[in-house]
């Protein structure tokens, strides 16, 4: 009997464990909070905490430079998805003034093993992503807001994440630094 | 491995774990700060599920020891980037896993200052081991012992029934 035939692939194991752990977390939150809105908010908050740290990793790995307009930013966010989640969302649905776009996400790894029960229809299962984007952008002096417009978990054809530019954060530089 | 399927980067798991720890410890409602039960339970559910996916192509483990070896080698190195450094057993259902540099403790200062904070960072993993073993048919209790970070010992006691 050979045990060598099916070596585990560490990348895949890590990825699946992440997905499952995230699922366990969401279900724990559903138990802890009565209100689904609270769960969405908590997920966003956790994402924010991750985002403010993750941006360091992103900058170090991709050696990205400055963004000159929001279209640049959109591409950087897309690159972030590729770097960390291994997926490349499509950028689309720009609004006329160019400060709002959508990411169309296919094969969201977070939802790989997920089906939402009927009483969870208001749950934004992947809401952590909106927090990550907000946190990461805030660390590079940009305030954005983002939210889910469509979600495959809820029977929509695609998962659509909307990102909107709010303002540049001018005051975030500590005193005494140029 | 299909190209279209996203593979999540390792670093996210570390961040998620840190958030889990901070959430569970700050949210204990009934004033029981430092209660790691739900952290352990999140680990348990994840371990229970992941092991089923990992071992579906594997032949059945022939005994308890072989199951433990699998946990210490293949399973452990996939998740924690290294194998368990030493596995001891009394052959009566007690196993001690010596880990000299545990992934979730490696980035904490190794002095005694933070030693009392250490249990929060191993609770998830205790649950993970317990969940994995439960799905492989072994009912256990798993506890961790930390004397000098980042080393850590996991004590597994198999329940005989």
Confidence category of residue B110, pLDDT binned at 50, 70, 90: confident
Burial (CB < 10 A; 0-12, 13-18, 19+), residue B18, is: middle
pLDDT of residue B33: 59
- Partner B contacted by A15 (CB < 8 A): yes
What is the ipTM score, two decimals? 0.90
Residue A159's SS3 state is strand
Query: pLDDT tens for residues B132-155?
Result: 999 999 999 999 999 888 899 999
pLDDT of residue B116: 83
Residue B48's SS3 state is helix
Q: From CA B140, how far away is CA B22, in angstroms rounded?
A: 26
Cβ atoms < 10 Å from Cβ of A147: 14
- Partner A contacted by B30 (CB < 8 A): no
Contacts with A67 (C-beta within 8 Å, 6 or more apart), sequence order: A73, A76, A140
The residue with tokens 């430092």 is B34
Q: Where are the beta strands (DSSP E) in chain A?
A: 90-92, 100-105, 142-150, 159-168
Which residues in A lie closer than 8 A to residue B23 (C-beta atoms)? Answer: 25, 42, 46
Tokens of A159: 């998962």
Query: pLDDT tens for residues B11-43?
Result: 999 999 999 999 988 876 555 556 788 899 999
pLDDT of residue B5: 62
DSSP 8-state class, residue A119: G
In chain A, what's the furthest Cα-to-Cα distance?
A: 68
Q: Does the pLDDT of residue B2 top 50, yes or no?
A: no
pLDDT of residue B56: 85
Report CB contact under 8 Å: B6, A85: yes
pLDDT of residue B31: 54
* B94-111 mean pLDDT: 90
Query: Can you count the helices (H) and strands (E) in chain A?
Result: 4, 4
Report CB contact under 8 Å: A25, B42: yes
Alpha-carbon separation of residue B20 from A163, A173, B42 (angstroms):
26, 30, 9
**How many Cβ contacts (< 8 angstroms) between chains A and B?**
112
Which residues in B lie closer than 8 A to residue A24 (C-beta atoms)? Answer: 41-43, 45-46
Report CB contact under 8 Å: A42, B38: no
Report CB contact under 8 Å: A20, B7: no
- Partner B contacted by A17 (CB < 8 A): yes
Confidence category of residue B3, pLDDT binned at 50, 70, 90: very low
- Partner A contacted by B78 (CB < 8 A): yes
Question: With b meaning 16 or more CB within 10 Å and e meaning fewer, what string describes A1-37?
Answer: eeeeeeebeeebbbbbbbbbbbbbbbebbbebeeebe
Q: Which helix (H) or strand (E) holds B14?
A: helix B10-27
Cβ atoms < 10 Å from Cβ of B156: 23
pLDDT of residue A147: 95
pLDDT of residue A1: 43
Q: Does the pLDDT of residue B58 top 90, yes or no?
A: no
Higher-pLDDT residue of B85, A6: B85
Low-confidence ranges of chain A (pLDDT < 50): 1-5
pLDDT of residue A8: 82
Which residues in A lie closer than 8 A to residue B107 (C-beta atoms)? Answer: none
Q: From CA B71, how far away is CA A13, in angstroms rounded?
A: 13
């Amino acid at each position: 009997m050979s045990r060598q035939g099916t070596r585990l692939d560490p990348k895949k194991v890590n990825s699946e464990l992440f997905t499952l752990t995230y699922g366990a977390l969401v279900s724990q939150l559903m138990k802890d909070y009565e209100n689904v809105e609270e769960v969405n908010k908590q997920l966003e908050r956790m994402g924010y905490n991750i985002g403010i740290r993750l941006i360091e990793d992103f900058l170090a790995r991709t050696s990205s430079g400055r963004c000159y307009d929001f279209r640049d930013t959109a591409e950087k966010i897309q690159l972030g998805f590729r770097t960390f989640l291994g997926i490349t969302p499509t950028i689309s649905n720009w609004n006329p003034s160019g400060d709002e776009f959508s990411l169309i996400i296919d094969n969201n790894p977070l939802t790989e093993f997920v089906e939402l029960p009927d009483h969870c229809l208001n749950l934004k299962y992947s809401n952590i992503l909106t927090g990550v984007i907000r946190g990461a952008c805030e660390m590079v002096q940009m305030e954005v807001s983002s939210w889910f417009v469509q979600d495959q978990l809820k029977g929509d054809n695609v998962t659509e994440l909307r990102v909107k530019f709010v303002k540049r954060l001018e005051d975030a530089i500590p005193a005494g630094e140029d | 491995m299909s190209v279209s399927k996203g593979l999540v980067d390792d670093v996210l798991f570390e961040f998620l774990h840190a958030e889990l720890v901070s959430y569970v410890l700050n949210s204990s409602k009934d004033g029981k700060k430092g209660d790691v039960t739900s952290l352990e339970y999140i680990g348990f559910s994840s371990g229970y599920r992941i092991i089923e996916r990992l071992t579906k192509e594997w032949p059945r483990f022939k005994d308890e020891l072989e199951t433990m070896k699998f946990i210490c080698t293949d399973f452990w190195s996939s998740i924690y980037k290294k194998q368990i450094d030493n596995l001891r057993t009394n052959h009566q259902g007690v196993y001690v896993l010596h880990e000299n540099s545990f992934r979730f403790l490696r980035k904490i200062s190794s002095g005694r200052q933070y030693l009392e904070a250490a249990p929060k960072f191993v609770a998830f993993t205790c649950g993970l081991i317990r969940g994995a073993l439960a799905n492989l048919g072994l009912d256990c209790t798993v506890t961790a012992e930390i004397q000098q970070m980042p080393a850590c010992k996991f004590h597994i006691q198999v329940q005989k029934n």
